[in-house]
Amino acid sequence: MKSELVVVFIIFLLLFIKVGTEMKNEKLLPIIQFLLLANFIVGFFFNETGVLFGGLFSTNGLMAFQKSILSLGGYLISLLFSDWLKKSEHMPEFFVLMLSALLGMFFMISSGSLLMFFLSLELSTIPVAAMANFDLEKRTSSEASMKMILSSAFSSGILLFGISLIYGATGTINFAEIPALLDGSPLQILAFVFLFTAFAFKLSIVPFHLWTADVYEGAPVAVTSFLSVISKGSIAFILLTTLYKVFAPMQEIWYNMVMLLSIITMIVGNLFALRQQNIKRFLAFSSIAQVGFILVGLSSNSIQGTSSVVYFVLIYVFSNLAAFGVAAAISQQTGKERIDDFKGLYQNNPFISWILALALFSLAGIPPTAGFFGKLFLITAGASKGNYFFIIVAALNLIVSLYYYLRVIRAVFMDKNEQPIEKIILNPSTKLGMIICGAGIVLVGLLSWIFDYITALTA
């Protein structure tokens, strides 16, 4: 409960600050950043294993680590987008909403029954929809928020339907009791399909991905990156629990499903990413393809599967946030969001160009960046089933994805531009965020003890 209590404490603190003081954003932001950093650091101490509230809530070392990854993402967001945040009138509210969503995710990761899971999923979704509307004067922002709230309401409905079917089929909603009662009857399969569909919505797995690109493009970059990194990470974590623990007896059934969805998701995500011109849409589709890769590792149903998925999400936090951070820095100062506008970026902005290159190479899985290790371990975990076809498709998708990541690299480093983007001035905390991301991208892979640590937590 400790991580949750810390987050609640920070939320209340922010509410009091907002109501009780007239602090300027410039002064307040460092305090919030410090609180989020503290939240991340506290996540590593006083972790206990145990069950609370009659099985509704459970926690262990791995869950604590998963929460730490999400807290780290929150901290990085507060650093990377500080320019945008400072200009916002309602900065404390932004963080209250973000932390509420984070709180929901924490409860979701720890949830021990479908009821708790549903409640916390809602808690993690609704604040994000409000965040998507944060650029109050922009119509696209409201549109994104509307689309998001509609699609998530729809998926919640499906999820509830699935939960009720499971209750009907097994007579319980407790994660610990469900596996013994599963026998693979058609009703249970139907229930599982509904449940998984809800996950697919949140993870934007093809064919449930259609809301993704519009929402990503319309929402402010900070929210987009929260959605694409932290929301997805948390759903991937809970999916691990659901598939490996709750639905373990139906493994043969869900393996084929996950494999098919993974293949479609990788292919569609990659093919659509090829044609995007807007950097946010581009990253949206590339993140769909990345989720396809997470499913490759997820399909293995093994300790390696769990550890490689958690490891990959950690790497993904660094890589994708770095890419979004650079995109935000550029669009904040120049208003340019098209890939063509990035031509010749390297001329005046070598630092952010290298950060962007590192991030994209990591997303593409090129060594020595951490993405190489992350993707390789996902594929290795997926290969343990001996399904060559699946692995070859995944490997070929790596090539396609390299093609479009190289498109951006090419624009930044090689293409000539009459009027390249002028020198972008980064404020210190944005720079710090980028350096942390860059260091993470390089070191998380090469320092093998990080992976060992995750494996030790998993076992």
Can you give the binding site for other proteins, defined by CB under 8 A? 304, 307, 361, 366-368, 372-373, 376-377, 379-380, 383-384, 386, 388, 391-392, 395-396, 398-399, 402-403, 406, 409-410, 413-415, 448, 451-452, 455
In angstroms, the CA 30 to CA 17 distance is 14
In angstroms, the CA 269 to CA 292 distance is 8
What does the block give as tokens for 370?
């951490």
Least distance CB 251 / other proteins (angstroms): 18
- Which is closer to other proteins, CB of 153 or CB of 439? 439
Strand partners, 113: 174
- Which is closer to other proteins, CB of 39 or CB of 458? 458
Least distance CB 298 / other proteins (angstroms): 17
Comparing C-alpha atoms, which of 314, 321, 282 is closest to residue 434? 321
- Which is closer to other proteins, CB of 134 or CB of 255? 255
- Which is closer to other proteins, CB of 230 or CB of 383? 383
Range 131-137 contact pairs with CB under 8 angstroms and sequence separation of 24 or more = 131/94, 131/97, 131/98, 131/101, 131/219, 131/220, 131/223, 131/226, 132/215, 132/218, 132/219, 132/220, 132/223, 132/227, 134/88, 134/90, 134/94, 134/219, 134/220, 134/223, 135/219, 135/220
- Which is closer to other proteins, CB of 203 or CB of 444? 444
- Which is closer to other proteins, CB of 88 or CB of 347? 347
Least distance CB 390 / other proteins (angstroms): 10
Question: For every residue of 231-300, which 3-state class applies, written as one string?
Answer: HHHHHHHHHHHHHHHHCHHHHHHHHHHHHHHHHHHHHHHHHHHHHCCEHHHHHHHHHHHHHHHHHHHHCC
Least distance CB 413 / other proteins (angstroms): 6
In angstroms, the CA 384 to CA 124 distance is 34
- Which is closer to other proteins, CB of 260 or CB of 414? 414
DSSP-assigned states of every residue in 333-402: HH---BGGGGTTHHHH-HHHHHHHHHHHHHHHT-TTSHHHHHHHHHHHHHHTT--HHHHHHHHHHHHHHH
Least distance CB 360 / other proteins (angstroms): 11
Least distance CB 79 / other proteins (angstroms): 25
- Which is closer to other proteins, CB of 194 or CB of 451? 451
Least distance CB 321 / other proteins (angstroms): 21
Least distance CB 446 / other proteins (angstroms): 9
- Which is closer to other proteins, CB of 223 or CB of 355? 355
In angstroms, the CA 306 to CA 312 distance is 10
Least distance CB 64 / other proteins (angstroms): 20
Give the CA diameter of the chain. 68
Yes or no: say if 288 and 215 are a contact pair by the CB < 8 Å rule: no
